[in-house]
Chains A and B, each alone.
Chain A
């Protein structure tokens, strides 16, 4: 079972600060960690390898310092790690990121399963997983909370939906994004930490990946962040009381008053 786990290095704080001039994240002075959702993806990959053999390869696109996150992934059980880094990749949106990741995955030998976290802690879009599956032309299941069965070319998972869950079968290779319900990530091991310090982490750039320059980084980004902000909290709720009939009458009156019906 060859598994690829995609991870992102993100700032540790949930309250990310934004440079209002460039609309990008302020990373200075903020400790970087592996995106918390990605740690569940990594743990699931390591558990699958422990049960079925094979190897876990971790990939991350980011600045050179993202190597730290990849080394941490090795300390948590990953076998190999690859960093995708190049000035040309800077400023990528989810589409350009997924394209770059897809180029790296196409370069790797065969794989059975790609696992991503459901979304990142900083960007929060949850788009890279599905976009990547689309570009690779493989099946995709989002919000996976349990892998029920996995064997040669067959996968059955539980996926979380609003009220309850769905059971989905698919062929392999496939891509899944996972939720935090799927497992409890382990702490690193001493042997893992020692291995992570000396393990090679190759860095692949635009040349190694043979990318179309118009599809990576800022050039390849279809979206642009204009502004990032936290929605203001408003407290304008009004509780309508009375019997169900009275409540309905009052609600209708209010809606009419507001010319909404």
Chain B
């Protein structure tokens, strides 16, 4: 299906696909097995300018938007979702800075992220603050010249590997959600260390780790935008802009699973014929393809809404994320089914895809919490038109 991409978008997509096939495909199973962080691939992506895609031109980026980011994420995820999330998390980690940071902050941090010399990460989740993101326990106490951080962030993608962290922490405890701020903390800051590295069901090559702050001083200059109290709003706005990226990760994964199932169905012979000749298999493959294409169309449309600076993107971004991740889960499960016993084995890629797919329904807003948001938006619109 033609999505009327520009020449530049097609170039980005083609190069991302080439990297995925030439550099990621040969090592994806090993990276998964060893739970090894893919630094070599990150460096490969950096050399190809992939981290420049989402950074504005003024800071050594290529000035792409949400759709360009989605195209890269989709192609990487088609081969390996762990690599895709590592890449996308660096974008997530600097999007708040891009949108709200001061000129000085952008100059200081973005060129290193654009070149891929440093990975970025975003940290909001805590043991007590998942879907209930406002229940943050980490403290950022105001002291002369800056803030002192204490607390623990949990399940942070690129944790430990990233060099630049955007952290949401309350700078004014008395104001609840309105007292939170987005603060940049660099790896190596005294009092900032890394805790347990999680052992996961899927996306095992990606790093998911605790961030531990013990009397960690950060200067006032690291407060994103220079004004306290906007952190929570900035984070919600960030997720509105980043969720199509998770949708793209889901579309890529589902596409990869569909292709693997199709290839197997053409090779596998039972009852003296390729199983792709069986209508039971044909209908499964057709349903998978329909779902993947519908998810892609929704994700691209949501990404374009983000890039059009549409004010009301909460709903479309949530829809794209929820629909595409549910599709990825279903398609991955069906891909294993089409491949039968072989599909259950680690020699074939679909079992990994099935394990990788599950997280897509959980992170960056569980699909349940996002359905709440979509329903709330429906009711609000209904009330307005009534």
Residues of A within 8 Å of B62, CB to CB, are: 190-191, 194
Closest CB in chain B relative to A190 CB, distance in Å:
4
Contact with A along B37-79 (1 / 0, CB 8 A): 0000000100111101100000000100000000000000000
Interface centre among A189, A190, A193 (most CB of B within 10 A): A190
Is A186 at the interface (CB under 8 A from chain B)? yes
CA distance A228 to B15 in the complex (A): 37
Interface residue tally for chain B (C-beta within 8 Å): 16
Q: Tell me whether chain B's interface is mostly helix, strand or loop, or mixed.
A: helix
Q: In the complex, what residues of B have CB within 8 A of residue A193's CB?
A: 11, 15
Interface contact B11-A187, CB-CB below 8 Å: no
Write out the residue numbers on chain B whose beta carbons fall within 8 Å of the beta carbon of A190. Answer: 11-12, 15, 48-50, 52-53, 62
Indicate if the CB atoms of A187 and B49 lie closer than 8 Å: no
* Residue A200 is within 8 A (CB to CB) of chain B in the complex: no
Cβ B19 vs Cβ A187 within 8 A? yes
B143 → chain A, closest Cβ, in Å? 43
Cβ–Cβ contact B50 & A187, under 8 A: no
| Bitwise interface map of A from 188 to 212 toward B, beta carbon under 8 Å scored 1, else 0 | 1111111000000000000000000
Nearest opposing residue in chain A for B53, CB measure: A190
> Which residue of chain A has its CB nearest to the CB of B14?
A193
Query: Is A191 within 8 A of B44, CB to CB?
Result: no
Is residue B117 within 8 Å, beta carbon to beta carbon, of the partner chain? no
Q: Tell me, in angstroms, the Cα distance from A230 to B62 when the chains sit together.
A: 49
Least CB distance, A45 to chain B, in whole angstroms: 16
- B330-374 vs A: 1/0 string, CB under 8 Å? 000000000000000000000000000000000000000000000
Q: Are B18 and A187 in contact (CB under 8 A)?
A: yes
Can you list, as one digit per residue, whether each of B12-48 has a CB less than 8 Å from chain A (1) or not (0)? 1001001100110000000000000000000010011
Contacts of A186 in B (CB 8 A): 47
Whole-angstrom distance between the alpha carbons of A163 and B50 in the complex?
Answer: 42
Q: Please measure, in the bound complex, the distance between the C-alpha atom of A255 and the C-alpha atom of B48, giving whole angstroms.
A: 60
| Residues from chain A with Cβ under 8 Å of B49 in the complex | 189-192
CA distance A192 to B48 in the complex (A): 9
CB pair B19–A191 under 8 Å, yes or no, is no
- Within A175-194, the residues touching B (CB, 8 Å) are 186-194
The reply to whether A187 and B52 contact each other, CB–CB distance below 8 Å, is: no
Taking CB atoms, residues of chain A closer than 8 Å to B22 are 187
- Give CA–CA (A194, B19) in the complex, Å: 17
Task: Give CA–CA (A187, B8) in the complex, Å.
Answer: 17
Which partner residue on chain B sits nearest A77 by CB separation?
Answer: B47
Q: Nearest chain-B residue to A192 (Cβ)?
A: B49
Specify which chain A residues have a CB less than 8 angstroms from the CB of B18 in the assembled complex.
Answer: 187
The answer on a CB contact under 8 Å between B52 and A188 is: no
Segment 101-155 of A: residues with Cβ below 8 Å from B: none
Are A189 and B11 in contact (CB-based, < 8 A)?
no
Given contacts A187-B23, A190-B49, A190-B53, 18 further A-B contacts (CB under 8 A): A187-B18, A187-B19, A187-B47, A187-B48, A188-B15, A188-B48, A189-B49, A190-B11, A190-B48, A190-B50, A190-B52, A190-B62, A191-B49, A191-B52, A191-B62, A192-B49, A193-B11, A194-B8
Give 26 pairs: A residue, B residue, CB < 8 Å, sorted on A. Answer: A186-B47, A187-B18, A187-B22, A187-B23, A187-B44, A187-B47, A187-B48, A188-B15, A188-B48, A189-B48, A189-B49, A190-B11, A190-B12, A190-B15, A190-B48, A190-B49, A190-B50, A190-B53, A190-B62, A191-B49, A191-B52, A192-B49, A193-B11, A193-B15, A194-B8, A194-B11
